[in-house]
Structure 1
Amino acid sequence: MTEQPSTLYAKLLTETASISWQELQPYFAKGVLLWVDGSADLVAVAEAVAENEHGKVRQWLESGVLSKMEDSCAEDLATRDPQLWAVVIVPWVLVQERAQASTAH
């Protein structure tokens, strides 16, 4: 039995877009970038943040699946310029590298 995605999930999915690190740099400077590990569903994480699902978000923060983007991550992204995906949950921009071997940031 397959569960249908929520209306919010479907909306966020349509708002998720490919973006370059250069386009994200101003948001990093503002401190509003959240890194989502490649093992997680970016849209599901965004949905939980939008819905204030504190338990899920806390668990992801504690496990490192979700984190505020660190300087070292930003430097790595600037050097490699990989393909990134992002979705906005005001005031946050959630970012994920869609490569198979995503590294923890």
Structure 2
Amino acid sequence: MSDNHTELLRAKINGETSRLPWKELQRFYAGGSVIVVNDTLDLVDVAVRIAQDDKNAVAQWMNDGLIARANDAQARAWLEADLSLWAVVVKPWILVQCEKMRNMH
């Protein structure tokens, strides 16, 4: 993809990223579509790579344990803490991140 297209996609995804209470995301978790992004990664960058179907980057992050489907322990802890997470939709996934996004692009 061209750099211009990537930058437009990045801007679009960044604009769609927001903090949401976990209780509003639980139904998506129940459907298996919530992906947790480690706070060492840039949530928008991960979303862009997934949207561009960058299989190599995604596979590497998965192998390194930096992205994974949310698990029951996380879901319970987030519910009990009444936590809000950074979230963005990249169909069919909802990417979430616990820590505040560091690099707003």
TM class, shorter-length: 0.7 to 0.9
- Asked whether the equivalents of residues 86 and 100 of structure 2 are also in contact (C-alpha less than 8 Å), the reply is no
In 2, the alpha carbon distance for the partners of 1:83 and 1:92 equals: 18
- Measure, in 2, the Cα distance between the counterparts of 1:79 and 1:40: 25
- TM-score normalised by L of structure 2: 0.86
Task: List structure 1 runs of 4+ shifted beyond 6 angstroms.
Answer: none
Structure 2 stretches of 5 or more lacking a match?
none
Q: TM-score, normalised by structure 1?
A: 0.86
Over residues 30-79 of structure 1, what are the superposed CA-to-partner deviations in whole Å (9 max), with x where a residue is unaligned?
10000001111000000111100000000000111110111111111111
More displaced 10-residue stretch of structure 1: 49-58 or 75-84: 75-84
Question: 2:31 — aligned with what?
Answer: 30
Aligned residues: 98
2:77 aligns with: 76
Unaligned runs of 5+ in 1: 101-105
Identity, in percent, stands at 36
Give, as a single letter, the amino acid of the residue that structure 2 aligns with 1:14: G
Which residue in the other structure is 1:50 paired with? 51
Summarize the Cα distance change of 1:99–1:89 in structure 2 as closer, same or farther, 3 Å threshold. Answer: closer
Query: Which residue identity is paired with 1:51?
Result: Q
Please state how far the C-alpha of 1:6 moved relative to its aligned partner.
Answer: 1.2
- After superposition, the CA RMSD in angstroms is 1.8
- Find the counterpart in structure 1 of residue 22 from structure 2: 21
Which residue is 1:64 aligned to? 65
Matched residue of 1:28: which SS? Answer: helix
